[in-house]
Chains A and B, each alone.
Chain A
Amino acid sequence: MTETAVPPGVGTRRRRSLRRRAVPPPPWLTRLLIVVGALGLWEWAARTERVDRLTVPPASSVFAELDDIVTSDGFMMHVERTAFEIFMAFGFGLVGGILLGVVFWKSRAASEALEPFLITLYAMPTLVFYPILLAMTGLNAGPIIVITVVFAIVPVAMNTMNALRSISPILLHLAASLGMSSRQRVLKIILPAATPIAVPGVKLGFIYAVVGTIAMEFILANRGIGYMINLTYGNFDVVDMFAYIVLVIAFAVASNSVMSAIERKIRRDML
């Protein structure tokens, strides 16, 4: 690793190895060890009956069952329903959030007036309105999408507003002095300047879309992955329940990693 130039004739071989400090493993390796260790602990605790098998089945049987579930018949139906809800909610949340962010940017009165409401929406259990919408429209994807859209709009709108506000006025004066058309100004100045700051809000919006959808399916629904956790719980199907829980966790982690990678790339290239 560290190849320091050494004057010849000096007995540095031994001294170099004595002077080397303990190098910690690279972060990704430590992380991997932690995750593997946790899985190992789970397996060991379940197998040695430290934890009752009927409460927490061993990891190996859960993963084996997961394999069966994924290849079973009804599985895709649930995946489709959940994916439909997430992407509809994210789509509307994204478009609505961007529009709202632009409105807040252009109108100081609107942003100042609505700030307390948005802050509250962030912190209110929006999900608590789910039974109301369910009572009105019945058991389908609609209420889930509506509530999740409200949930996801807030971070997108707030971040878009801040991103637009952060565009240095010098750039806008430059656009005016160059006689840029509106379209040129948006494409060449506003979008490149605002996007890197707005992207974390988009990521957060997606996370909220996933969390909101799964949570509401879990409480009450007729289809979807979250619903399957509820169903398997009711049937005391513990291995299947754990399998679906692991599936949700894996999906959330994977989609979060993908969004983070996209965010990093955009910030690196555009910031």
Chain B
Amino acid sequence: MTAAAGPVVERSGGSVEVDRSDERPRSRTRIRRATVLVWGIRLAVPLLLLAAWVVADRTSDLVPGISATVSSLREQLASGELTPHIRSTMHASLVGFALAVVIGAPLGFALGRSPYWYKVSEPLIASGYAVPRIIIYPVLIGFWGVTLRSKTGVVAISAFFPIVFLCMSGARGVAPVLVNLGRSMSMNRRQTVLKIILPATAPTVMFGLRLGFSIGFVGVILAEMFAATEGLGAVVADDYGLLRLPQMFAVIALIAGFAFVVNITLWVLRRLATTVE
């Protein structure tokens, strides 16, 4: 049984890690065996999912086979029919995310640095976080119609709350000793912000940006499934309505695959960055 073998260290960003510096050093064979086990489990998961897919394919008429889905995906990508949809979805995701960052990050910082305004706004932002923001989409449609602008608005509103919330937490959590250090070196406002506050809040802010983008991306897919003229979610909705299931599965796999790849990349980058330090 392996319990925590040392004091718990709370890293900024809210993650809790265990300080294992006083553990017995593990022998090389033990480490090798553990690594094999870890990678074994990591490979087993996608294999299990594929196996489940095959079983579902055999037992249900409504589930296309793996080969049918793959060939449909290849076909759709090659014919270029997905290109305008991919472009529309990505445009909404990126522009909406950028809007949320440009408005939300400075606002979050300002609210975090002011104790009074933090107390005022924290419950409001936390409540906004708990609301399914996709339901605002019909209101946006009322203003701008079923257009790219409405989808971008959904992304911006969806991503706004996690970004503001985490920037607030990050800015608030800067250890006072660091700020005092800046004061003792007679730093002016600009230097304090650039050299002390921003680096101290970086992990939390990065997490907030990652979370914000993911939530925004989910938002645009949902919005497109609800009502849109183009976009990957709209393709899925159309395929569902017309019961074109191999095509539908293919596009869903594309969407999930994209999110998976982006997140694994960011995870790997973060692991590399922290071990290099």
Taken residue by residue from 222 to 246, chain B's Cβ proximity to chain A (1 for < 8 Å, 0 otherwise) reads as 1001100000010011001001010
Q: Is A188 an interface residue (CB 8 A)?
A: no
B120 part of interface (Cβ distance < 8 Å): yes
A interface residue numbers (CB < 8 A to B): 24, 27, 30-31, 34-35, 54-56, 105-110, 112-114, 116-117, 119-120, 122-125, 127-129, 131-132, 134-136, 162, 164-169, 172, 197, 207, 210-211, 214-215, 218-220, 226, 229-230, 233, 238, 241-242, 245, 248-249, 252-253, 255-257, 260
With A56-B142, A109-B37, A132-B252 known, 7 other A-B pairs at CB within 8 A are A113-B38, A114-B41, A120-B260, A122-B214, A123-B214, A125-B255, A218-B135
List, sorted by A's number, 16 A–B pairs whose CB atoms are closer than 8 Å: A54-B142, A56-B142, A105-B2, A117-B42, A120-B263, A123-B210, A127-B218, A128-B236, A128-B256, A132-B248, A135-B63, A135-B243, A162-B16, A168-B4, A214-B135, A248-B135
Q: Report the bound CA distance from A136 to B59 in whole Å.
A: 10
Contact check, B132 vs A125: say whether CB atoms are below 8 A apart: no
Which residues does chain B contribute within 8 Å of A168, judged by CB atoms?
4, 7-8
With A24-B116, A218-B134, A253-B131: A125-B259 Cβ-Cβ less than 8 Å? yes
B142: nearest residue on chain A (CB-CB)?
Answer: A55
Chain B positions near chain A (C-beta within 8 angstroms) = 1-8, 15-16, 18, 34, 37-42, 45, 56, 60, 62-63, 116, 119-121, 123-124, 126-127, 129-132, 134-136, 138-139, 141-143, 210-211, 214, 217-218, 221-222, 225-226, 233, 236-237, 240, 243, 245, 248-249, 252, 255-256, 259-260, 262-264, 267
* Cα separation A233 to B18 with both chains bound (whole Å): 50
A-B CB proximity, top 8 nearest: A113-B41, A256-B130, A123-B214, A55-B142, A27-B119, A125-B218, A166-B8, A214-B132
Alpha-carbon distance A108/B31, docked complex (angstroms): 12
* Closest Cβ–Cβ distance, residue B92 to chain A (whole Å): 14
* In the complex with contacts A128-B255, A253-B127, A226-B222 CB distance below 8 A: no
Q: Report B-chain residues with C-beta under 8 Å of the C-beta of A169.
A: 3-6
Is A172 in contact with B134, judged by CB distance below 8 angstroms? no
A129 touches B142 (CB 8 A): no
Given contacts A125-B218, A162-B16, A165-B3, are A136 and B263 in contact (CB under 8 A)?
no
Contact A166 B16 (CB under 8 A): yes
Task: Give Cα A110 to B42, complex, Å.
Answer: 9
Measured between C-beta atoms, what is the minimum distance from B262 to chain A in Å?
8
Contact A211 to B240, CB < 8 A, known contacts A125-B221, A136-B60, A248-B135: no
CB of B51, distance to nearest CB on chain A (Å): 16
Contact across chains for A245 and B37 when beta carbons are under 8 A apart: no
The contact of A106 among B1, B60, B226, by CB within 8 Å, is B1
Closest chain A residue, CB of each to CB of B226:
A219
Distance to closest chain B CB from A42 (angstroms): 11
Contacting pair B41 A110 (CB below 8 A): yes
Q: Which of A27, A31, A162, A253 contacts B130 (CB 8 A)?
A: A253
Contact, CB under 8 Å: B248 / A131: yes
Nearest-CB distance from B114 to chain A (Å)? 11
Separation of A114 and B40 alpha carbons in the complex (Å)? 11
The minimal Cβ–Cβ distance linking A223 to chain B, given in whole angstroms, is 16
Do the beta carbons of B139 and A27 come within 8 Å of each other?
no
Cβ A248 vs Cβ B16 within 8 A:
no
Q: Which residues of B contact A242 (CB under 8 A)?
A: 139
B129 touches A207 (CB 8 A): yes
- How far is B211's CA from A219's CA once the two chains are assembled, in angstroms? 22
CA distance A34 to B123 in the complex (A): 12
Q: Find out whether the CB atom of A218 lies under 8 angstroms from the CB atom of B132.
A: yes
Whether the pair A172, B3 counts as a contact (CB closer than 8 A) is yes
Q: Cα distance A230–B141 when bound, in Å?
A: 13
Residues of chain A contacted by B123 (CB below 8 angstroms): 31, 257, 260
